[in-house]
């Protein structure tokens, strides 16, 4: 979680923890496909040709998994608290969703389920979960920081 304090308020940017770049992920996928295809061709040369279609299916499944993971690599949440409003901007698989709240009507709820903690912003019948990319400890820290700036704690 990155926090920036400006003259007008706070700005939280919460990103997914991605330990590999998209380019490196593509290299890993290409390497795995080459190894799988090489093994399948070696078996086919010894007469076990039915291995080839299964290797193709394996490579398609692996590529699909990498694609789904890559679509969410740039997901983030941005929470801006400034000028009498709270703006939440969330990017999920390339779809951008913005929701604006009036802090006078806003309530931050914490839901615990065992060790897990969920943060919910509620205002006039609408509800939005925040902090999805944080672990439980950092969600609690985010909640404390937000509560410090909200009029209705």
Beta carbons within 8 Å of 113's beta carbon, 6+ residues apart? none
Per DSSP, what are the bridge partners of residue 77? 14, 90
Same domain, 56 and 82: no
Same domain, 101 and 131: yes
pLDDT tens for 37-54 read 999 999 999 999 999 999
Same domain, 86 and 143: yes
Beta carbons within 8 Å of 20's beta carbon, 6+ residues apart? 28
Same domain, 66 and 139: no
Residue 125 pLDDT more than 90?
no
**pLDDT at site 10:** 77
Same domain, 67 and 81: no
Provide the number of structural domains found in the chain: 2
Give the chain's radius of gyration (CA, Å).
22
Q: How far is it between the farthest Cα atoms of the chain? A: 74
* Averaged pLDDT of the chain: 86
Residue 128 pLDDT more than 60?
yes
* pLDDT range class, residue 151, cuts 50, 70, 90: low
Same domain, 81 and 9: yes
* pLDDT range class, residue 59, cuts 50, 70, 90: very high
Query: In this structure, are residues 81 and 10 in contact, taking their beta carbons and an 8 Å threshold?
Result: yes
Same domain, 125 and 65: no
Q: Where are the beta strands (DSSP E) in the chain?
A: 2-5, 9-15, 76-82, 85-92, 95-101, 107-113, 116-123, 126-130
The DSSP code for 84 is: T
**pLDDT at site 3:** 53
**pLDDT at site 30:** 95
Same domain, 26 and 56: yes
Residue 59, domain extent:
22-71
C-alpha 77: how far from its chain's center?
A: 8
Same domain, 31 and 63: yes
Same domain, 36 and 11: no
**pLDDT at site 74:** 84
Phi, psi at residue 33, to the nearest 5°? -65, -40
């Amino acid at each position: 979680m990155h926090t920036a304090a400006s003259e007008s308020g706070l700005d939280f940017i919460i990103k997914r923890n991605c330990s590999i770049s998209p380019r490196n992920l593509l290299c890993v996928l290409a390497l795995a496909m080459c190894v799988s295809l090489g093994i399948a061709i070696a078996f086919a040369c010894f007469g076990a040709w039915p291995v080839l279609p299964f290797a193709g299916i394996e490579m398609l499944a692996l590529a699909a998994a990498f694609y789904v993971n890559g679509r969410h690599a740039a997901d983030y949440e941005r929470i801006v608290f400034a000028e009498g409003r709270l703006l939440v901007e969330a990017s999920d698989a390339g779809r951008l969703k913005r929701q604006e709240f009036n802090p006078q009507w806003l309530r931050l709820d914490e839901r615990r389920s065992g060790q897990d903690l969920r943060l919910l912003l509620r205002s006039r019948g609408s509800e939005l979960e925040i902090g999805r990319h944080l672990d439980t400890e950092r969600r609690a820290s985010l909640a404390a920081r937000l509560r410090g700036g909200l009029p209705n704690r």
